Amino acid sequence: MLEIDKLRKADLFSGSAILLLGLFVVGQATQMPMKDSYAGVQNVWYVSPALFPLFIGSMLALLGLLLIKAAFKEVGSAGLLSVLKYLSSSDFASFLKLPGTIRFYGITLNLLIFVFLLIPRVDFFLASILFLLIFFFMFYCGSDEDLLSLIYLMIASTLLFSLVVLAPWAPSLATLVPFLSDILIIIYITGLILYYFIKLKGSPELMPKFRLSLIIAFAAPLTIGIIFKYFLLVPMPFEGLVVSLLDAIWYADIWS
């Protein structure tokens, strides 16, 4: 019974997080056009790209509310107060420092960087390779101490990348150096691989994992991306240096 009570109190917290996430998705979706004109053709609201995220966000918000309602019905106001008290206690501060919680930080940070920073600005193949490499190095090729170091490295490299790519002088730099963001990511990927190679070369049990991580991180995006780009004719979210090289190979005159 005590374990169920703890779970219901946790549901108050997780339900609130799900509710806020759903509201955020709905808020972002409302910024998409519900109807617009393309090449003189007026699109109606029910083909809007906003409908799917609106539905997903609404369902998340609804499920979050239902979870909060069910949990509150079980534990009452006393349970809610105990949850709030726990969130302000030293026990919660200790929980935030646990290895499992730090892993959650790493997962969240990697996803946020991939979705909001890399996908809109970096060649899809390079962004996906970096995303997978970081995940593999986080959880497959290192310890909890390595994970924390990698998180710090991600934060530092993200700030540096943002300083170069998002700064007011970024357009001038991009004019001087074509594919600037892609080149920076290539340098980052190369440095990350060299760092882990040097770190793990003295560990016979980890080197096979390191090699497997490299194979999957490079092979998966290239295989899936090439299928979608050149066989299914689906454009990549951002096409940069790698796509330009693949285009030059795919559409070369030697194949005709």
Q: How confident is the model at residue 42 (pLDDT cuts 50, 70, 90)?
A: low
Helices 241-250 and 180-200 cross at an angle (nearest 10°) of 100
Q: Are residues 74 and 109 in the same domain?
A: no
pLDDT reported for residue 2? 44
pLDDT reported for residue 190? 96
Q: Are residues 207 and 112 in the same domain?
A: yes
Measured in degrees and rounded to the nearest 5, phi and psi for residue 42 equal: -85, 115
Q: How confident is the model at residue 254 (pLDDT cuts 50, 70, 90)?
A: low
Q: Are residues 104 and 221 in the same domain?
A: yes
Select the more confidently predicted residue: 35 or 91. 91
Total tally of structural domains belonging to the chain: 2
Burial class (CB in 10 A: 0-12, 13-18, 19+), 230: middle
Per-residue pLDDT reduced to its tens digit, 5-15: 667 777 777 88
Q: Are residues 116 and 69 in the same domain?
A: no
pLDDT reported for residue 53? 79
pLDDT reported for residue 115? 85
For residues 136 and 142, what is the distance between their CA atoms, to the nearest angstrom?
9
Single residue among 49, 71, 90 that ends a domain in this structure: 90
The domain containing residue 171 runs over which residues? 99-255
For residues 11 and 64, what is the distance between their CA atoms, to the nearest angstrom?
9
Q: Are residues 84 and 111 in the same domain?
A: no
pLDDT reported for residue 30? 81
pLDDT reported for residue 237? 86
The DSSP-derived string for the chain is -HHHHHHHHHHHHHHHHHHHHHHHHHHHHTTS-SS-EETTEE--GGG-TTHHHHHHHHHHHHHHHHHHHHHHHHHHHHHHHHHHHHHTSHHHHHHTTSHHHHHHHHHHHHHHIIIIIITTTS-HHHHHHHHHHHHHHHHTS--HHHHHHHHHHHHHHHHHHHHHHSSTTHHHHHHHSTTHHHHHHHHHHHHHHHHHHHHHTT-TTTHHHHHHHHHHHHHHHHHHHHIIIIIS-PPPSS--HHHHHHHHHHT-GGG-
pLDDT reported for residue 126? 96
Task: Name, in order, each residue with C-beta under 8 angstroms of 19's C-beta and a sequence gap of 6 or more.
Answer: 60, 61, 64, 65, 68
Q: What is the pTM of this model?
A: 0.75
Q: How confident is the model at residue 37 (pLDDT cuts 50, 70, 90)?
A: low
Q: Are residues 124 and 200 in the same domain?
A: yes
Q: Are residues 66 and 135 in the same domain?
A: no
Single residue among 62, 90, 118 that ends a domain in this structure: 90
pLDDT at 49 over 70: no
Structural contact between residues 127 and 119, judged by C-beta atoms closer than 8 angstroms: yes
pLDDT reported for residue 145? 72
Q: Among residues of the chain, what percentage have pLDDT more than 70?
A: 86
Q: Are residues 19 and 120 in the same domain?
A: no
Q: Are residues 22 and 146 in the same domain?
A: no
pLDDT reported for residue 47? 54
Q: Are residues 107 and 231 in the same domain?
A: yes
Q: Are residues 84 and 106 in the same domain?
A: no
Single residue among 90, 125, 148 that ends a domain in this structure: 90
Per-residue pLDDT, averaged over 188-194, amounts to 95
Q: Are residues 112 and 149 in the same domain?
A: yes
